[in-house]
Structure 1
Amino acid sequence: MLKKLHYALGLLLMGGLSMQAYAQQQKPEYRKYPATKFEQLDELLPTPNVYRAADGSPGHQYWQQRADYKIQVSLNDENQTLKGSETITYYNYSPNAISYLWLQLDQNRFHKESNTYKSMTFDIDNDPSFQSITWWTGINSEHGYKISHLRDVNGKPLPYTIVGTMMRIDLPKPIAPKGGTFTFSLDWEHKIIDANKMGGRGGYEYFPQDDNYLYEISQWFPRMCVYDDVNGWQNKQFLGRGEFALPFGNYEVAITVPADHIVAATGELQNAKEVLSPIQLKRLEEAKKADKPVLIITEEEARQNEKSRAKGTKTWIFKAENVRDFAWASSRKFIWDAMQVDVNGRKVWAMSYYPKEGNPLWGEKSTNVVALTLKTYSRYTFDYPYPVAISVHGPVFGMEYPMICFNGGRPNPDGSVPDRTKYAMISVIIHEVGHNFFPMIVNSDERQWSWMDEGLNSFLQYLTEQEVPQQPWAKDISAPYPSRRGPAKNIVPYMKSDPDKMVPIMTNSEQILQFGNNAYGKPATALNILRETILGRELFDYAFKTYAQRWKFKHPQPADFFRTMEDASGVDLDWFWRGWFYSTEPCDIAIESVVHYTTQPNDGKSPFETKMFPQDKYRQMIENMEATTGIRFTDAEKRIYQDTKLHFYSVKFKNEGGLIMPIIVELKFADGSSLIERLPAEIWRYNDQEVTKVFATEKPVVAFVLDPNEETADIDTSDNVFPREEKAKGSKFDEFKRSQ
């Protein structure tokens, strides 16, 4: 009934204002149109074409390149070096002939002459940086690739030019479009970095107590750059923050390590009988049917391995199909556990490799977290397509690769596990395993748009974290799970920070000022708000899954995401992308004033400014409209002048932050009940600075509370309550909830 009354009141108010303005013949006041905030994004997004359609899907002539690798690599455990040979077959499916190739040489980032160090700024007194000092001393001069024997399939040398972290190979003749191929080989070697000393996304950790090394090997071989319809070659230099743009391909990799090492890698092990013991093979078979992780190598066995120094080497052979990268880990310290996970009827291996220093935390949690992540992400996107997902514990706190990731979270030396360590470990495993979906399968350009993998993944990480407390292995986990990113209120400190130290989400990876907040936290929060407050879960989940399924094993751009979310949800969201992704404005909406219109004389009980509601005016207006226009009003609509118990509240809202958001307001009634009204963001479309809304109620209101459940990331809640003193009247428990 009240909804219909609201509609009738709005109609009458509009009609009354129009008639009054017409009667007075007032000259209109012209003003500049204020709101670019509701303009479409057409001028910012690329024009749809045959490669990328207007609905956000791949166009009917979409194409992408491919690169297959055959690699042989040897790990020298004495001097921490890698030496490898690789053969790359490059497939040109583009409509263009290609006369040169670009490869990534990521290890060159660690060389003394790297632009990473030369462009790094710091202050010795206030901001000391070991990495910045080292290039002065020449410590890093031996890092980076040594390239040799670059030849075509016939053994003929190929000319090449190294440009920082990139290498151009000049071809004897162009690769033909739409199916041409070119095969070449090269040899290389480089020192492995000390991950704890130099940072990075891979490297080694040395354990002096047992004189052993643990290796996490990534960005370790020359890799093809992406060539696509948007950028041509993506050969932007690797400075350290912007991650990777890589084509898909098949990998055959032979890894030679000391004979007593255990290796984990992208893909499936091809020669298990040659490198594993009979008992390890038996345990793997048992793990296929287990409902909890099975130890393939126990802690006791790992401790014995730490003491061994076997002579000779073993070669572990792995194959991986349709992946964009390859990473691996090796150590004689590894404990190894595994089980198979049912992902919609398909069995997938969940595995963990970790030194004894990771127990008891890793043995209790890691593989279980891997399994939960695969199931949850598959539910929101697509069924996990790879045969295995691996979590490795070592010096790198969090980094992702196809089917394998490196994660931190180490207990204290006495085995005790602080809550902070436990939650950090669970969250980083969810996050890094989740990266299998974004960007390892939905293969966005990380070098340019960090938010497309980190932000989307952080959003799904939040949804997964909230399911952790319900798991049988998580009896020691609090509910709700203490997620760092996702809830709107958690981004407020960043949104209210110094605007001069903020940049829009749509900023290149290397230019972001607050990387964690900008690439992870803000986009994750934006998507959570879009799901919970703007679209609702049903519409959002359908659109998000549509995007994931459209672009799995392809290369999406930001416009493809924006357009798909709108096309599949049926909701125009350009205002949302413009505000959250293209600007740095915060949400700060205030209740400026409230005027109470009543049919009863003011008895002094109303906490608002009170005015008499002009019933006679509306009675006359309705009667005139019925007499002159033929419009007929129902009895319910006529209550506006017949009912003497209705209350009307004219509430003025002010947009002080600039960011357009829906208005969510709670009406608290005198009898202790309450009602939440949700007004869409379009309420600001004619005036993005202030708006007035009339609420009609059958019971008197004693207070209006804006964003009562903290859904919009409002940076100042002191002006969200009217009357202002109402906040002070709240209970201590209410105050505690607000502070939390």
Structure 2
Amino acid sequence: MRKLLLLSFCLFNMATTSAQRAGFWQQKVHYKMDIDVDDQTYQYQGKMTLDYTNNSNQALPKVYFHLYFNAFQPGSMMDYRLSHIADPDPRMTTNLGTKEQPRYQSRIATLTPEQIGYQQVETLTVNGQPTQFKVDGTLLEVVLPQAINPGQTATFTMEWSAQVPEQIRRSGRNSKEGVALSMTQWYPKMAHFDEFGWHLDEYVAREFIAPFGDFDVTIHIDKDYVIGASGKLQNPSAVKGYDKMAKVKTKKGKASWNFKAQNIHDFAWAADPEFVVDSAKSNSGVTVYTVFLPTNKEVKANWNTALSLSTEFFDYCSAHFGDYPWPTYSIVQGGDGGMEYGTATLVTGGRNIKSLVGVIFHEAAHSWYQHLFGINETVDEWFDEGFTSYIEELAFQSLFEKKGALASNPVINAYRSYYKLALSGKEEPMSLLADYYNTNYAYSNEAYNKGQVLAGQLGYIIGKENLAKTFLQFYDIWKFKHPTPNDFKRVAEEVSGINLKWYFNLFVNTTRTIDYAVESISDQEILLANKSNFAMPIDLLVEYEDGSKELFYIPLREMRGEKPSENLDLYQGVTRTVLEDWFWTKPTYTVKTTKKPVKVQIDPSLRLADIESANNTYTR
């Protein structure tokens, strides 16, 4: 028995290590920032010391910073994008036409100099030496006096001034709900460099990527303000809101807030004089803070309920997707919807309870599929948003809707949205860079819904239990390491023993669709057809004349393996028969039976993303 256990451990260890990329490395940052805010002008002065460690195998003669606030200026790329995309974000535009004949104008185009956003770098040195730098839209290019060699840490010292823009997208001042400052993407952020090179994406309102690092942020602001932020507050007794016994310490009428966080890749905060703070601790030890405007009794009640459910959420996700690794999480009212940041989210708060819990669950789920893994949202938006939405839906049904046993396909609504997209003529390959979709309709449905379908259908291919194991093993191998979708695919292959190259390639890189049909049945024969250009394995449930049932499983040749039996309620007591595999080059397949079939159904679990379900069932 001991030898068997040792062999099992060795095989598991091989599985967990063979899915890692050879020669893996990643950069490291450490930010120390001091921010002095003028809440009357919505401007601030910033000082930053940034330690940047080059763990790559090449010298870096240049580095780049993102200056996101610069997007909120007339004539920016974001401004032009809003003016020319077919279906612009209504939060960012004004309709000058009618509902029937809309004529959208970018809200950025009408900003005055007092309303725009900007980040102006005033001084920048590296290791005490001056640098040459220039601003190009929302990017700062820095030419270094000496290259940063492999293994070397360089220290950047920067001073900059900034103006917070009107609330148009994510960042901003004076939101519709009355939050004074929503401070996201607010500091000059070091761009990401990895084996694919520098990621120099202009900000046009989509997503982000950045290196992991540590943050030490001090914010000086009028003493009456309360702040919710990433990380852990270091001085609760010296500021307003977090400690009932606090004696607010001020200097020139301002209080100083100090937050620290380790191993995150973004830092956000929001501030308002009317904010109230509440907190609770999950069973696994995560302190969850809510920071919101208590505008009425219903709002306060909703946030109180949401706080309780949020602690349950972190326990649920830690059990199913890997332990939440940070001590705190802050849910802060602000912004214009919901957006995830390191150990924090900003969400709009004047919602009904179902909407509030839903958006909190979604943004908190990003703690895994974005912030814990550091997924490149600009390249693999579906891996970020789709998998996050998958987690959100499972948690919501389990915790909010109190469903004891989830349905065989808990993300069926995402499938339905995907079907509409696939039949709309607007679908584009899911591998398209997030910024470049022709329509917001295609982007949102592919990132959020088709991404969920990819995860749900993967469970259909490799088995429900193997999918659950894949999520946990992926966490063990890739947390804090910027994995790619291929890394997830490799883990799923290791766990299941099934080749998945064909599935990820066709579902991510093409707009091909799945359509299988039951063509005919006779006394002892069933004829199936693949009417599409996307081959899949088939679960076929057959009900016989005598009332018995049999589940036929037809693997796909390209899988080079088989899905094990699944513990699904709808298959309890049903005999399972594994047949010979089906070639993708062969359009039909004949199933022979020993009894007379009266009803035949392809995939009763509804996890096969078949765009035409009408021909999936045949009844005599």
TM above 0.5, one fold? yes
Equivalent in 264, 268, 288 of residue 323 of structure 1:
264
Give ranges in structure 2 of 5+ residues lacking alignment: 1-15, 87-95, 558-579
Report the AA paired with residue 138 of structure 2.
T
- Is 1:184 the counterpart of 2:156? The answer is yes
Match of 1:525 in 2: 453
**Structural mapping, 1:666-705, within 5 Å:** 666-682=541-557, 685-688=582-585, 690-698=587-595, 700-705=596-601
Change (3 A) 1:542 1:279: closer
Q: Which runs of 5+ in 1 are unaligned?
A: 1-52, 283-309, 412-420, 472-476, 597-647, 727-740
Q: Is residue 152–residue 158 contact of structure 1 (8 Å, CA) maintained in 2? A: yes
From 260, 276, 295, give the equivalent of 2:224. 260
Q: Does 1:386 align with 2:350?
A: no
Give 1:506 shift.
1.5
- Alignment partner of 1:584: what SS? coil
Q: Does 1:359 pair with 2:302?
A: no
1:213–1:442 distance in 2 versus 1, CA, 3 Å: closer
The percentage of counterpart residues that share the same residue type is 25
Equivalents in 1 of 2:111, 2:172: separation in Å?
21
- Number of the residue aligned with 2:537: 662
2:313 counterpart letter in structure 1: T
Aligned to 1:314: 255
Aligned equivalents of 2:316, 2:242: Cα separation in 1: 34
Q: Displacement, 1:277?
A: 7.1
Whether 2:384 is the aligned partner of 1:509: answer: no
User: Does the C-alpha gap of structure 1 residues 250 and 409 become closer, same or farther in structure 2, counting only changes over 3 Å?
Assistant: closer
Amino acid at match of 2:137: G
Matched residue type, 2:600: F
Q: Kindly indicate whether residue 455 of structure 2 is the aligned counterpart of residue 493 of structure 1.
A: no
Q: Which residue does the alignment assign to 1:99?
A: 61
Task: Flag the 1:74–1:478 CA change in 2: closer, same or farther, 3 A.
Answer: farther
Q: CA deviation at 1:177?
A: 1.3
Aligned mate of 1:146, from 101, 104, 120 = 120
Going from structure 1 to structure 2, the CA distance change for 1:130 and 1:192 (only over 3 Å counts) comes to: farther
Contact 2:474-2:488 within 8 A present in 1 as well? yes
- The residue aligned with 1:717 is 613
Output the CA distance in 2 between the equivalents of 1:489 and 1:454.
Answer: 15
> Equivalent of 1:237, from 202, 221, 231?
202
Q: Matches of 1:278 and 1:494 in 2, distance apart?
A: 47
Preserved CA contact (<8 Å) 2:288 2:328: yes
Q: 1:707 aligns with which of 593, 603, 606?
A: 603
- Correspondence for 1:128: 103
Distance in 2 between the 1:84 and 1:546 partners?
41
CA–CA separation in structure 2 for the residues paired with 1:234 and 1:81: 28
Match of 1:166 among 139, 142, 146: 139
1:221 is paired with a residue of what secondary structure? coil
> 1:259-288: CA deviations, max 9, x gaps?
111111111111122114796259xxxxxx
What are the within-5 Å matches in structure 2 for residues 93-492 of structure 1? 93-120=55-82, 121=84, 125=97, 126-131=101-106, 134-135=108-109, 142-154=116-128, 156-178=129-151, 180-195=152-167, 198=168, 200-206=169-175, 213-229=179-195, 231-241=196-206, 243-276=207-240, 280=244, 312-343=253-284, 347-357=285-295, 359-411=299-351, 421-469=352-400, 485=411, 489-492=415-418
After superposing the two structures, state which structure 1 stretch, 141-150 or 317-326, moved more: 141-150
Q: Describe the shift of the 1:380–1:185 C-alpha distance in structure 2 as closer, same or farther (beyond 3 A).
A: same
Distance 2:374 2:469 in 1: 20
Q: 1:164 to 1:436 in 2, by over 3 A?
A: same
Partners of 1:488 and 1:711 within 8 A in 2: no
Matching residue of 2:573: none
CA 1:139–1:274 in structure 2 vs 1: closer, same or farther (change >3 Å)? closer
Write out per-residue CA displacement over residues 383-421 of structure 1, whole angstroms, 9 at most, x where no aligned residue. Answer: 11111011112343110111110123524xxxxxxxxx4
Counterpart Cα distance in 2 of 1:484 and 1:313: 50
Q: Which amino acid aligns with 1:384?
A: Y
Distance 1:158 1:491, change over 3 A: same
1:137 & 1:385 partners in 2: Cα distance?
Answer: 41
In structure 2, the residue matched to 1:50 is none
Q: C-alpha root-mean-square deviation of aligned residues, in Å?
A: 2.9
SS in 1 for 2:615: coil
Q: Distance in 2 between matches of 1:326 and 1:278?
A: 19
Structure 1 counterpart of 2:31 = 69
Deviation of 1:86 after TM superposition, in Å, equals: 1.2
Distance 1:691 1:552 in 2: 43
CA contact (8 A) 1:113 1:141 kept: no
Counterpart contact for 2:73–2:111, Cα < 8 Å: no
Closer, same or farther: CA 652–451 of 1 in aligned 2, 3 Å: same
C-alpha displacement of 1:69:
0.9
Q: 1:653 to 1:410 in 2, by over 3 A?
A: same
- Provide Cα deviations, 1:163-213, integer angstroms capped at 9, x if missing partner: 2111111111111212x1211222222222232xx2x222233579xxx64
Tell me how far apart the structure 2 counterparts of residues 314 and 141 of structure 1 sit (CA, whole Å).
Answer: 26
Shift of 1:461: 1.5
Amino acid corresponding to residue 20 of structure 2 in structure 1:
S
| 240 and 140 in structure 1: CA distance in 2 versus 1, 3 angstrom threshold | farther
Other structure's SS at 1:715 match: coil
> Alignment partner for residue 528 of structure 2, among 653, 662, 680?
653
The answer (yes or no) to whether the contact 2:67–2:188 under 8 Å persists in 1 is yes
CA shift at 1:140, angstroms?
8.4
Query: Judging changes above 3 Å, is the alpha-carbon distance between structure 1 residues 259 and 494 closer, same or farther for their aligned structure 2 residues?
Result: same
Structure 1 CA distance for aligned equivalents of residues 273 and 242 of structure 2: 18
In structure 2, the CA distance between the partners of 1:129 and 1:480, relative to structure 1 (3 Å rule), is farther
* Counterpart residue number, 2:521: 594
Contact 1:205–1:395 (CA under 8 A) maintained in structure 2? no
SS in 1 for 2:78: helix
TM-score normalised to the size of structure 1? 0.71
1:654 aligned partner, one-letter code = A
Question: Residue 48 of structure 2 aligns with which residue?
Answer: 86
The aligned counterpart of 1:28 is none
Conserved? CA contact 2:541–2:550, under 8 Å: yes
Letter of the aligned partner of 1:182 in structure 2? A
Paired residue type of 2:104? S
Shift in CA distance, 213/508, structure 1 to aligned 2, threshold 3 Å = closer
Match for 2:255: what amino acid? K
Are residues 434 and 448 of structure 1, via their aligned partners in 2, closer, same or farther at CA, if it must alter by over 3 Å?
Answer: same
Whether the 8 Å CA contact 1:484–1:490 is kept in 2: the answer is no
Query: 2: CA distance between counterparts of 1:219 and 1:136?
Result: 22
Alpha-carbon distance between aligned partners in 2 of 1:226 and 1:465, rounded to the nearest angstrom: 33
TM-aligned CA distance change 1:157 to 1:680, over 3 Å: same
Name the larger-Rg structure: 1
Verify the 8 A CA contact 1:56 1:562 in the aligned structure 2.
no
Counterpart Cα distance in 2 of 1:172 and 1:549: 40
For 1:38, the equivalent position in structure 2 comes to none
SS at match of 2:280: strand
CA distance 1:560–1:138, change in 2 (3 Å): same
